[in-house]
Amino acid sequence: MSSSRIWLITGANSGLGLALTQHVLAQGDQVIAAVRKVSSIPASIKAAKPLVLDLNASDSEIKQAGAEALKIYGRIDVLVNNAGYALTGYTEELDDEAIKTQFQTNFFGAISLTQSLLPAFREQKSGHILNISSIAAVAGGAPFGLYNASKAALEAATEALSIELAPFNIRVLIIEPGFFATNFFAAAGVNSARPERVTGAYPDTSKVPEQYVARHLALKQVGDMNKAAARMFEVVSGTGLAKDFVDGGLRDFVRVPLGPDSGTRFGAKLQLLSENVEATRAIWNSTDMDEEKLQEFAKQT
Ligand SMILES: *[C@@H]1O[C@H](CO)[C@@H](O)[C@H](O)[C@H]1NC(C)=O
Ligand SMILES: *[C@@H]1O[C@H](CO)[C@@H](O)[C@H](O)[C@H]1NC(C)=O
């Protein structure tokens, strides 16, 4: 019996999804590559089985794709919710429809697909779900506010899911990459707002991508997607640098930051949160019922 695992990777045709697909295939596991168009699958991952999936489709179409994926090998061991894109622009200027499509693809679509696989995961009493998020979900900023919000929603849902699924031996992880040499910014575009909605009141976004890249180059801090893929594989396998994280860890942590920029921004956000909690202590510690009112409340319940 081969011990190879079956991976379902969404957005397998580019970026981190492609790097991970290549790495997983090279390790001898099988991949179902979920993409919007089969023609977009590069030759380097021809060994993967294609699955047509549009996360902007209806919930029932997405669940149908999940059911088809399960039939290909008769099981799936690792689901990687990787597909997604970044809406760029200022909250005031973006169309409601563009915002809803962002959440549909990055959040609702990932949830529908996950739901379609959970009965099988529970039955086999094993499985990994990796949600590829972004450090942006934890420490976000303009002009990616709504992209970051869609990832933050995903993270909140993922945290809950990891608790729900722990009794079934299903491990749920949030991967939080920092800056990697993907086409993220090219794909994100400079501004998703329609020209007639641009007010001119906010800073020009046209230089954002190149400034971001230049800053990371100056710091020599550019993530290597192949290394990210190797770490993700190790986290699922409990091998390599993830050996202690999975086997020796005292707790099943949910978050895996990738890249020194990600880890550093995470730490900075934690410090800010900690200062925020301290600065508001007098406020949050002033709202409990007084003794008399509390006794009244206790009587009523
Ligand atoms: C996403 O789906 C909505 C609703 O069906 C549709 O209006 C929109 O054009 C779609 N967007 C893309 C980018 O496919
Ligand atoms: C909240 O205020 C009460 C009354 O001053 C104090 O005894 C308590 O230690 C405070 N709790 C926290 C968590 O700061």
> Vertex 266, ends 264 and 267: CA angle to 5°?
65
Atom of ligand 2 at shortest range from CA of 281: 14
Cα torsion 172, 109, 154, 261: sign: positive
- pLDDT for 186: 62
Helix ranges restricted to H, the chain: 15-26, 59-73, 96-103, 109-124, 145-165, 184-188, 208-218, 225-237, 243, 260-279, 281-284, 291-300
pLDDT, residue 140, reads 56
**Residues of the domain holding 240:** 6-261
How many whole angstroms from 288 Cα to the centroid of ligand 2?
11
The closest-lying atom of ligand 1 relative to the alpha carbon of residue 97 is: 7
Q: Is 30 among the domain residues?
A: yes
Banded pLDDT at 1 (limits 50, 70, 90)? very low
Say what the pTM is. 0.82
74 assigned to some structural domain: yes
Q: Is residue 237 part of a domain?
A: yes
Is 295 inside any structural domain? no
The answer to whether position 285 is within a domain reads no
- Alpha-carbon distance of 69 to 74, in angstroms, equals 8
Q: What is the mean pLDDT of residues 29-48?
A: 96
User: Tokens representing 105?
Assistant: 């693809």
SS3 133: coil
Domain contains 290? no
% of the chain with per-residue pLDDT over 70: 91
Q: Is 46 exposed, middle or buried (0-12, 13-18, 19+ CB in 10 A)?
A: exposed
Give the closest residue to 136 by CA, choosing from 156, 151, 155, 157.
151
Q: What's the CATH code of the domain at 167? A: 3.40.50.720
Report the atom number in ligand 1 closest to the C-alpha of 58: 5
- Mean pLDDT over 217-238 rounds to 91
78 touches 127 (CB < 8 A):
yes
Ligand 2 pocket by Cβ (under 6 Å):
281, 285
Q: How many structural domains compose the chain?
A: 1
Label residue 144 by pLDDT band (50, 70, 90). confident
Residue 54 CA: which ligand 1 atom is closest? 14
CB-CB contact of 229 with 22 (8 Å): yes
More confident residue, 196 or 285: 285
Q: State phi, psi for 119 to the nearest 5 degrees.
A: -60, -40
| Separation of alpha carbons 267 and 301, rounded Å | 42
CA 299 / ligand 2 centre spacing (Å): 25
In angstroms, rounded to a whole number, what is the distance separating the alpha carbons of residues 108 and 99?
Answer: 12
Tokens standing for 111?
């949830």
Whether 192 is covered by a domain: the verdict is: yes
* Closest-approaching ligand to the CA atom of 288: 2
* Ligand 2 pocket mutation pick from 281, 283, 285, 288 by most atoms within 8 angstroms of CB: 285
Ligand nearest to the CA of 55: 1
Catalytic residue numbers, as ranges: 133, 147, 151
Residue 252 falls within a domain, yes or no?
yes
pLDDT 10s digits, 253-281: 888 999 998 899 889 989 999 999 999 99
291 CA to centre of ligand 2 in angstroms: 15
CB burial of 237-259 (b: ≥16 within 10 Å; e: otherwise) equals: beeeebeebbeeeeeeebbbbbb
Question: Does residue 9 contact residue 31 with C-beta atoms inside 8 Å?
Answer: yes
The backbone torsions φ and ψ at residue 203, rounded to the nearest 5 degrees and listed phi first, read -55, 145
Determine the residue type at 141: G
Pocket around ligand 1: residues whose beta carbon is below 6 Å from it? 56, 101
Q: Given this model, what pLDDT does residue 185 score? A: 63
Task: Please give the mean pLDDT across all residues of the chain.
Answer: 88
Q: What pLDDT, on a 0 to 100 scale, did the predictor assign at position 19?
A: 95
**Centre of ligand 1 from the C-alpha of residue 56, in Å:** 6
Paired tokens of 204: 């020009």
Q: Which of 55-64, 114-123, 140-149, 264-273 has the lowest mean pLDDT?
A: 140-149
Task: Note the pLDDT tens digit of each residue in 277-297.
Answer: 999 999 999 999 999 999 999
